[in-house]
Amino acid sequence: MTRLDPLVKLCVAFVVIAFATLNDRPAELAALAALLAVLLLAVERVPPRRFALALAPFLFFAVTSSWIYALAPSNVYGWSGWQVALAVGLRTVAVGMVSMLFAFTTEPGDLARALVHRARLPRRFVFGALAAIQFLPVLAEEARLARLVARAALPPGASRLAVAMAGLRADGAIALLAGAIRRAGTAALAMELRGLSATSGAGSTWRVPRVGWRDAVFATGVVIALASLRAAGVAFGRS
């Protein structure tokens, strides 16, 4: 999926998210989540640890957003509270997996160029957001190194709480903020040298993604899969 057009994947992701949002059948939502998990683990070969870490926030949100429905006696469909909670939780997990699949298989630079040159979004906004996103891994690595340095500076025999809180004080945050400001200045200069501050002109069209036959096959396959899930869910509900 990494070779597919980013705008096609974005539109398909919105379609799948709409399907999961409007769907109230737990069986269909569970089948959709299972299919997405297979695509991530078996097809895209995402490492299980990375998959689990990326899915953890969505699982947490699924639990915290659905427990209140589990306490309700019923709803307008006549379901029990646990059935409603299951549908809400599965919907959250399915939507999360869609975003994970898109993020793991899409190059941010390709998406930015497609949004600028094909979707005609403002260059300064798109590439500014791209620069901010690319700062995140560097910021996370700096935070990790700052914590390691703070832990190494602790005296021997420090408590576990002191080790856990090392690097989380205000001085560590100030160091990260200073590094972020320094990199932001460098990024702003680089963007200005590339003409992103100009008020006219289309800018560079280097390596703009294009739609190909793979994208048509992918979009058609997704529509067929969603229609099959819906038909199977309706047939299961009637039986």
156-195: pLDDT as tens digits: 877 777 777 776 666 667 777 777 777 767 766 666 655 5
Task: Name residue, tokens 């429905």.
Answer: 69
Number of domains the chain contains: 2
Assess if residue 202 is contained within a domain: no
Residue 155, pLDDT > 50, answer yes
The rounded distance, in Å, linking the Cα atoms of 9 and 218 is 9
Assess if residue 1 is contained within a domain: no
Q: Which residues contact 179 (CB under 8 A, 6 or more apart)?
A: 139, 142
- At 79, list the tokens: 């379901």
Percentage of residues in the chain with pLDDT exceeding 90? 30
The rounded distance, in Å, linking the Cα atoms of 108 and 131 is 10
Confidence band of 200 (pLDDT split at 50, 70, 90): very low
Asked if 21 and 97 sit in the same domain, the reply is yes
Residue 34 near residue 96 (C-beta atoms within 8 A): no
> Residue 85: which domain range?
6-107+210-238
Q: How far is CA 44 from CA 78, 97, 142, 216, in A?
A: 40, 13, 29, 19
Asked if 89 and 166 sit in the same domain, the reply is no
- Reported as a single tens digit per residue, the pLDDT across 108-140 is 888 888 888 888 888 777 877 777 777 777 777
Q: How far is CA 98 from CA 38, 105, 146, in A?
A: 12, 11, 33
Q: How far is CA 151 from CA 117, 154, 156, in A?
A: 47, 5, 10
| Beta-carbon-side half-sphere exposure of residue 108 (alpha carbons within 13 Å) | 12
Assess if residue 27 is contained within a domain: yes
Assess if residue 142 is contained within a domain: yes
